[in-house]
Structure 1
Amino acid sequence: MNIAFFLLPKSEVITTTLQTTLRQTLERMEYHRYTAVPILSDDGHYVGTVTEGDLLWFLKNSEGVSFENAHRHLLSEVPLRVQNKPVHIHADMVDLIDLAKVQNFVPIVDDSDKFIGIVRRSEIIEYCAKQVVFKSPSAAGER
């Protein structure tokens, strides 16, 4: 199976940049109901993933930072606790599944290391579940 089969293209993915303010990031995540969002560089490279936890820990542990002044702080100030790794579009399914076990989504990059989209863990699980049902003896009428 080719990774491209599962790809949600960049045009359909909510992303952010390191120059986005904390407030903008929080509001975007709240609006779309996401717990994590890919961060891209100005030239389209995948930089990392910011999570709700990253933002909450930063607000909690940073002197003088609050939601009221979150518009004055950039995402570049926030330490990312987890380094979600991307895979290349030509990687094999084993690489994708290994990352999907520990990441809600896997960022996908092209041959130039430019971000081209994500693969959601839920899509992989759904595909695998259909394969198990399709191949199970009870589904084929065998017992």
Structure 2
Amino acid sequence: MNIAFFLLPKSEVITATPQATLRQTLERMEFHRYTAVPIISDDGHYMGTVTEGDLLWFLKNSETVSFDNAHRHVLSEVPLRVNNKPVHIHAEMVDLIDLAKVQNFVPVVDDSDKFIGIVRRSEIIEYCAKQLNFKAASVSHER
């Protein structure tokens, strides 16, 4: 199976840039009901994933940052607590599955290490469930 089969293209992925303000990022995540979004550089490279937890811990632990002035601080100031690793578009499925076990989504990069989309863990699980159901149905017909 090819990773591209599961790819949600970048045009359909909600992302953030390092220059986005904390307020913009929080509002975007709230509007789309996401708990994490990929951070993409201006030249299209995947830089990491920011989570709700990253933003909340940053607000909690910073004496100068609050919800009231979140529009004055940019995402590049926020330390990312989790290193969500990307997978190369030509990687093996086992590599994708290994990352999906510990990440809600896996960022995908091309030959130039440019972000091209994500693979959601739910898509992989759904595909595997269908395969198991198909095999179960095949076995019951053989009996």
Alpha-carbon distance between aligned partners in 2 of 1:65 and 1:16, rounded to the nearest angstrom: 19
Q: Give the 3-state SS of the residue equivalent to 1:113 in structure 2.
A: coil
How many residues get paired? Answer: 143
What amino acid does structure 1 have at the position aligned with 2:49? T
Partner of 2:77: 77
What amino acid does structure 1 have at the position aligned with 2:112? S
Equivalence map 1:79-94=2 (5 Å) = 79-94=79-94
Q: Give the 3-state SS of the residue equivalent to 1:140 in structure 2.
A: helix
How far residue 75 of structure 1 moved from its aligned partner, in angstroms, is 0.3
How far residue 117 of structure 1 moved from its aligned partner, in angstroms, is 0.1
Q: Give the TM-score, by structure 1 length.
A: 0.97
Alpha-carbon distance between aligned partners in 2 of 1:30 and 1:121, rounded to the nearest angstrom: 20
Alpha-carbon distance between aligned partners in 1 of 2:66 and 2:140, rounded to the nearest angstrom: 58
**Structure 1 residues 60-69 or 101-110, which shifts more?**
60-69
Partner of 2:112: 112
Equivalence map 1:11-90=2 (5 Å) = 11-90=11-90
Alpha-carbon distance between aligned partners in 1 of 2:43 and 2:101, rounded to the nearest angstrom: 29
Report runs of 4+ in structure 1 exceeding 4 Å deviation: none
8 Å contact kept, 1:133–1:139: no
Partner of 1:130: 130
Root-mean-square deviation (CA), in Å?
1.2
How far residue 140 of structure 1 moved from its aligned partner, in angstroms, is 3.4
Partner of 1:6: 6
Give the unaligned 5+ runs of structure 2: none
What amino acid does structure 2 have at the position aligned with 1:32? H
Give the unaligned 5+ runs of structure 1: none
How far residue 136 of structure 1 moved from its aligned partner, in angstroms, is 1.5
